[in-house]
Amino acid sequence: MASALLVTLVAAVAMLSRGVEAQCPAPADLHPTNGTRLCALLYADNSPYYDQCCAGDVLEVLPGSDVPYMPRGWSGRASSLVVGTKCELTVWSRRAKAGKSRSFSAGAVPRLQEVRRGFFGDWNDAIRGYYCTCK
């Protein structure tokens, strides 16, 4: 019994030492610090635990963004995403809008590894270009 208590205590300390856990924002909450509207947010990290997804570095996508080549350091890096209300994000698996494509409507996708891309792949770390529109 003492060893089970010790294991539980160690796990609790490890969770507290990690800091604040992330959670995907609601689509209606996509506003940067200056208050303008965002089309989508792409996140570099995800987790096996949904309440810890949408973490790490964030790429803010403005409405009307047409980006055939990802910004420096973002090619093949997105692991979670949130698309704003009344918006649609279309992504491509290869640069210059080539390869497989997929459209995401308003909502959160905490784990892109659960979104299939063909028979053997998924969309985790696969986005190489995007186009985002809002109504």
Q: What is the pLDDT of residues 5-14, one digit of tens each?
A: 333 333 333 3
What is the band of 17 on the pLDDT scale with cuts at 50, 70, 90? very low
pLDDT digits (tens, 9 = 90+) for 96-133: 999 999 999 999 999 999 999 988 899 999 999 999 99
- Is the pLDDT at 33 greater than 70? The verdict is no
Q: Which tokens in the block code for residue 18?
A: 């990690």
Tell me the DSSP string of 59-116: EEE-TT-EESSPPTTTTTT--EEEEEEEEEEEEEEEGGGEEEEEEEEEEEES-GGGSE
Write the pLDDT tens digit of every residue in 47-103: 888 888 999 999 999 999 999 999 999 999 999 999 999 999 999 999 999 999 999
Cα 106 from Cα 85, distance rounded (Å): 5
Of the two residues 105 and 3, the one the predictor is more confident about is 105
